[in-house]
A and B are shown apart, each in its own frame.
Chain A
Amino acid sequence: MEETRIDAVAAIQFKDTFRKLTADQDNAVVLDLSNVEFIDSSGLGAILAAMKLLGRDRPLHLAGLTAIVAKVFALTRMERVFKIFKSPLDALKINEAKSA
């Protein structure tokens, strides 16, 4: 699926794809948002739903926020809900360091 927006159009597809990709595993998940050029409240809702879907024992981290996506997370104070990394690689490094 090639999308640069997580908006009212894409929210349901995002949730479905997320569910499929993360099923049958129990590790933490890093969501790479570096190709996302726009997100609206439906998209934020979808990411929150994704976080809840993983459950308490599987954290959802975010990485690669573009300027506009970072702005939406700041405006809605959702940046406090997630650990946000510069890149997916940074998130993985920290995860590895933790488990080493």
Chain B
Amino acid sequence: MPDGSFIEPMAIQSKTSSPPDVHLVFTAREIAVRRALQSTCQALKALGAEASALGIVEIVLAEVTNNIVEHAYSAQSSGTITLSCIKRTTNIRFEVIDQRNMLPGGEIPSKQ
């Protein structure tokens, strides 16, 4: 099992500095995704997010980022995922960016 040497948390900023609260750049691989999810949830917990909300956050972020690993990138061409989030009083805002394949037509596919 590889260690975490290829995950590069660029910075987890405290709330006193300028936003975002969490900013991670990591390799698009499952083990790095796992560590990024754990770091994000730890940081949000420290910022006062509720446990029940964190559970949902982790479920959704896991699906989004694992989709990137599986579909945007491939075994042959991995790259990085950038995950930022800002915790506000009533919500948490997330931004997830990859550098690979676009959705067909640049749009979310319609339901079949």
Which residues of A line the B interface, CB within 8 A? Answer: 5, 7-9, 38, 40-42, 67-68, 71-72, 75
Contact B59 A68 (CB under 8 A): yes
Interface size on B, residues (CB 8 A): 13
Chain B stretch 1-58: residues in CB contact (< 8 A) with chain A: 30-31, 33-34, 52, 55-56, 58
Interface string of B61-74 (1 = CB under 8 A from A): 01100100100000
Which residues of B line the A interface, CB within 8 A? Answer: 30-31, 33-34, 52, 55-56, 58-59, 62-63, 66, 69
Contact A68 B62 (CB under 8 A): no
**A14→B62 CA distance, assembly (Å):** 18
Contact A8 B59 (CB under 8 A): no
A11 CB, nearest partner CB in chain B, Å:
9
Contact B34 A5 (CB under 8 A): yes
**B55 contacts across to A, CB distance below 8 A:** 67-68, 71
**A71 contacts across to B, CB distance below 8 A:** 55-56, 59
Contact B34 A72 (CB under 8 A): no
Contact B66 A42 (CB under 8 A): yes
Q: A9-B33, A9-B34, A71-B55 provided; 19 other pairs, C-beta below 8 A?
A: A5-B34, A7-B30, A7-B34, A8-B30, A8-B33, A8-B62, A8-B66, A8-B69, A38-B58, A40-B62, A40-B63, A40-B66, A41-B62, A41-B63, A41-B66, A68-B55, A68-B58, A71-B56, A71-B59
